[in-house]
Amino acid sequence: RMQMPSKLTPLSLRLASPLAMRAESLSTARVHDFVQEDLSAALDWSAKQGRILTGGGVAESLYTAARGYAFEQAQLPHHHLEAGSTHDTFRAWRWGPPRDASGGGGGPALPWLTGGWSRPLFAGGGEESSDASEACVNLVTPSLFVDIRIPIARNALLDALGEREEERLRLLARQHGFAGYARLAEVQGAFGPGGAAVAAVACTRHHAVDWNFLGAGRPRPNRWTVTPLGGNGGDNGGENRGDNGG
């Protein structure tokens, strides 16, 4: 089974950019050289995120019903956004009976999961990104969520580009932000290190707003399972393993 892990730790953002420090130490004549060198890598950020998420483009062929990863169209992250049913559906989920058969209500009360998280590592398809190269903020509640990801090198490059407006606009587009409703469900029979039973939770995310949504939704659910590192809901963080999501 292919795994695309992203380990969660309490919120801590690294905003200091190695690129900015390089720029301070370079002469004006040399700035142009490293800007051109790093600009291509920075503009590839969004595409790289997609390659990591899909395991290098193989996720759709691996995460199928025949392999045990069945899903309904209504579980796709942009289904309600495309249908115009976001607000009515979210309202029914939020005020419906908690833990009913459809997962209504706010979901299980999980103090260890609720809060602000960072993402030190995002890996898949032979590539990875980390908190050394991007700032990732993930706000989680038993119902609503917000996920923001911004490449750290971007600000220094924007300064170095000066009045090159077209390239500056392309660079500004390299970011990702989405928010919506998270459907949480407890996973039965989950086991952690050493074979001990753990309080794992499956999360399916439905996007109400999405920076990268251009009218065509993604073909797989944004779905992942998170397990507390302490085994049964401690306050020491968790490990996130995506089935189809990110």
- The mean pLDDT value of the chain amounts to 77
pLDDT of residue 81: 93
More confident residue, 206 or 189: 206
Q: pLDDT digits over 117-129, tens only?
A: 988 999 999 999 9
More confident residue, 185 or 104: 185
pLDDT of residue 216: 85
Integer Cα distance of 94 and 104 in angstroms? 7
55 and 62 in contact (C-beta within 8 Å)? yes
Q: pLDDT digits over 102-111, tens only?
A: 444 556 667 7
Token reading at 19: 């690129």
Integer Cα distance of 116 and 139 in angstroms? 5
Mean pLDDT across 216-230: 84
Question: Which candidate, 137, 104, 103, places its Cα nearest to that of 120?
Answer: 137
Q: For residue 38, how far is the Cα from the chain centroid?
A: 24
pLDDT of residue 75: 92
DSSP state of 135: E
DSSP state of 142: S
Handedness of CA 181, 9, 244, 44 (dihedral sign): positive
- Which pTM value belongs to this model? 0.75
